[in-house]
């Protein structure tokens, strides 16, 4: 049965944890969907892991739509959410509606995710949800602000923690259906999860969230570098290196074909 947004909300009240991962293309999305993942995010991390950009900022709306179309073709059950790239929603409410509208019209995605919790972005969430566009929030470490914050954990000081807590409440009240909490103290993530009515999806935010998400390239050991909070469930870099070297050797010594 395809997973819906109301299913995620029901799971929060039942205490059933939500398992989410990112995807960038058809083949792995299909495998992940069959393996039982609940939610697939075409995150703007695709700019780094699939397109080789230095950070998430250069990614365009056309690029993420192109990849989301491929991911969508591989999915039968998981809920599909897409990141709006840097400066495709921050300029004006009209721009945010147009960008989110393109994503929903041109792909199989059911929702968009936007980063940040400042009042105008909370208002953006209100404007999008009022137009029938489901939104997932994303606060704490927000990689689109890398030039301001780096990739450091956020909310370590009481004032920073208070700000993140208030942003989570505001985003939930603005109508978001879920919120990503990235790289914040686990105690803070747990307090937010126990306070707001919508599911929290943590990444580097401890076990007290309503669900977890990781970048699939990190989980599978395909990235050159992973944050310390990542658990590597496979080492595909070694698997691929061994397979390709064996193939090269077999071709060169004519043992294949
Ligand atoms: O872009 C991304 O992959 C994300 C996840 C890390 C939550 O936003």
- pLDDT of res. 180: 98
CA of 69 to the centre of ligand 1 (A): 18
Q: Is 180 in the pocket of ligand 1 (CB under 6 A)?
A: yes
The predicted-structure confidence for 97-128, as pLDDT tens digits, reads as follows 999 999 999 999 999 999 999 899 999 999 99
Q: Is 79 in the pocket of ligand 1 (CB under 6 A)?
A: no
CA distances (Å), origin 122, targets 58, 69, 87, 108: 24, 28, 16, 25
Per-residue pLDDT, averaged over 211-237, amounts to 96
Query: Exposed (0-12), middle (13-18) or buried (19+): which is 119, by Cβ within 10 Å?
Result: exposed
Q: Which backbone phi and psi does 202 adopt, to 5 degrees?
A: -95, 150
Inform me whether the pLDDT recorded for 224 exceeds 90: no
CA of 246 to the centre of ligand 1 (A): 34
CA of 148 to the centre of ligand 1 (A): 18
Separation of alpha carbons 233 and 57, rounded Å: 28
CA of 45 to the centre of ligand 1 (A): 6
Q: Is 83 in the pocket of ligand 1 (CB under 6 A)?
A: yes
Give me the count of residues in the chain.
257
Separation of alpha carbons 110 and 96, rounded Å: 16
- CATH number (1.10.8.60, 3.30.460.80, 3.20.20.60, 3.40.50.720) of 5-252 reads 3.20.20.60
Inform me whether the pLDDT recorded for 1 exceeds 90: no
Distance between the two ends of the chain, CA-based, in angstroms? 43
Q: Which residue has the tokens 């306070």?
A: 195
Structure tokens at 250: 């077999």
Q: In terms of Cα–Cα distance, which of 45, 49, 110, 107 is closest to 77?
A: 110
- pLDDT of res. 239: 98
The predicted-structure confidence for 18-70, as pLDDT tens digits, reads as follows 999 999 999 999 999 999 999 999 999 999 999 999 999 999 999 999 999 99
Q: Whose CA is nearest to atom 5 of ligand 1?
A: 43
Inform me whether the pLDDT recorded for 215 exceeds 90: yes
Structure tokens at 224: 């050159």
Q: In terms of Cα–Cα distance, which of 25, 7, 175, 17 is closest to 78?
A: 7
Separation of alpha carbons 1 and 163, rounded Å: 38
Inform me whether the pLDDT recorded for 225 exceeds 90: no
Q: Is 215 in the pocket of ligand 1 (CB under 6 A)?
A: yes
Q: Which residue has the tokens 């993942």?
A: 37
- Residues labelled catalytic: 182
């Amino acid at each position: 049965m395809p997973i819906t947004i109301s299913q995620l909300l029901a799971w929060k009240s039942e205490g059933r944890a939500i398992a989410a991962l990112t995807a960038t293309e058809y083949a792995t999305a299909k495998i992940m969907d069959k393996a039982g993942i609940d939610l697939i995010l075409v995150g703007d991390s695709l700019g780094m892991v699939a397109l080789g950009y230095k950070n998430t900022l250069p990614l365009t709306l056309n690029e993420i739509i192109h990849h989301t179309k491929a991911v969508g073709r591989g999915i039968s059950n998981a809920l599909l959410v897409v990141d709006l790239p840097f400066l495709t929603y921050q300029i004006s409410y009209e721009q945010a509606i147009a960008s989110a509208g393109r994503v929903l019209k041109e792909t199989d995605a059911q929702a968009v995710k936007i980063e940040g919790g400042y009042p105008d972005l909370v208002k953006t969430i209100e404007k999008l949800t009022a137009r029938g566009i489901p939104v997932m929030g994303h606060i704490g470490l927000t990689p689109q602000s890398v030039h301001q914050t780096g990739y450091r954990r956020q909310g370590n000081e009481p004032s920073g923690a208070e700000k993140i807590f208030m942003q989570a409440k505001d985003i939930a009240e603005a109508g978001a259906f879920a919120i990503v909490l990235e790289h914040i103290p686990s105690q803070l993530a747990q307090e937010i999860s126990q306070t707001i009515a919508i599911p929290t999806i943590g990444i580097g935010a401890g076990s007290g969230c309503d669900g977890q998400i990781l970048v699939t390239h990190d989980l599978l050991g395909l990235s050159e570098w992973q944050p310390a909070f990542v658990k590597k469930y496979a080492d595909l870099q070694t698997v691929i290196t061994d397979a390709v070297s064996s193939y090269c050797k077999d071709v060169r010594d004519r043992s294949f074909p």
